[in-house]
Amino acid sequence: MLGIDKHNRLMNSNSPYALISGGSKGIGYAIAEALAKRNYNLVLVARHKESLEIAKNKLETSYPIHVDILVFDMAEEDSVDKIARWCLEKEIQLKMLCNVAGLGGAKDYLSLPLDDLRYMIHINIESQMALCLQLLPLLEKNAPSYILNMSSSAAFAPIPVKNMYAATKSAVLFFSYSLRYQLIKKNISVSCVCPGPVFTKTEIKQETIEKMGWFGKLIAVDPKRVGEISVRGTLNKKIVIVPGTLAKIISVILRLLPKRLLGYLFYQLGKK
């Protein structure tokens, strides 16, 4: 059995690579697994070595692929440069870049110190923008290729209780729209994933149910399903991907309603 596994990995050594920031847990890991099923070798980036090693072991045990792990905090200024240098020196056959690392939470603007707000901006916006630019040579070399930027349904509305989070996710959405057309001639497709509630942590589930009750449970989508839908949509060159039928319907409504009205409605909802 070990001989067969080794043979499969050797056969797969020339398979394309996908790099996933925030790839050790949650949606990032689900995306990694969806790509592993499609025989993509993986480069997983996250802050904690232990969780990366666990992810690597699970994926390499289940699929005939190779997984590299890089321990970096995507909010730190030199992380992207070091990641890009590693990929370029290794001449990774990079076919897909998945910018999944991000930060949210119950506390937001007016509740967090300035340093924490800056950290959110760095990880939610700057790291995505920088990775796209720094890894562009490899994506262009291996075209047709793909960029998957992780946003949120919060990108479709101003949300007073999640002011900075919604603002950063909106920035990712508009950045992705524009980048898609900038890279058309390079044969690089850009997609933006905008999920609604995804219960990747207990506190997310508790907060969603507290704010939205039974409707929060109804609209939530399982992380594994989000990963599969995200990868499938990206490979099919969809520009905006909203996992879940109900979430998709709500996203259309959010995009049609005036932003001033949405701000007021979310303000009232946040007071509960």
Give the pLDDT confidence of 154-177 residue by residue, as tens digits.
Answer: 999 999 999 999 999 999 999 999
Which run of H or of E encompasses 43?
strand 41-46
What CATH number does residue 212 fall under?
A: 3.40.50.720
221 residue type, one letter: V
Question: What tens digit of pLDDT does each residue of 221-248 get?
Answer: 789 999 999 999 999 999 999 999 899 9
Looking at residue 34, what is its pLDDT?
98
Q: Is the pLDDT of residue 95 over 50?
A: yes
Of 2-6, 75-79, 165-169, 209-213, the range with the highest mean pLDDT is 165-169
Proportion of the chain in helix, strand, coil states, percent, rounded to 5: 60, 15, 30
Total number of domains constituting the chain? 1
Task: Answer yes or no: are the C-beta atoms of 106 and 203 closer than 8 Å.
Answer: yes
Structure tokens at 150: 């992780």
Residue 197's pLDDT is 76
Q: Which of 168, 186, 53, 170 is nearest to 132 (CA)?
A: 186
DSSP summary character for residue 28:
H
Instruction: Indicate whether 109 pLDDT > 50.
Output: yes
124 pLDDT above the threshold of 60: yes
Residue 9's pLDDT band (cuts 50, 70, 90): very low
CA pair distance 7, 25, nearest whole angstrom: 28
Give every CB contact of residue 64 below 8 A, 6+ residues apart in sequence. Answer: 5, 8, 9, 11, 12, 39
pLDDT at 24: 96
**The pTM is what?**
0.89
**Which residues, in sequence order, are bridge partners of residue 191?**
148
Cα–Cα–Cα angle for 156, 159, 163, rounded to 5 degrees: 110
Domain range for 214: 2-270
- At 148, give phi and psi (nearest 5°): -115, 115
Q: For the chain, what is the mean pLDDT? A: 90
Select the more confidently predicted residue: 35 or 213: 35
Please give the share of the chain, as a percent, with pLDDT higher than 90: 79
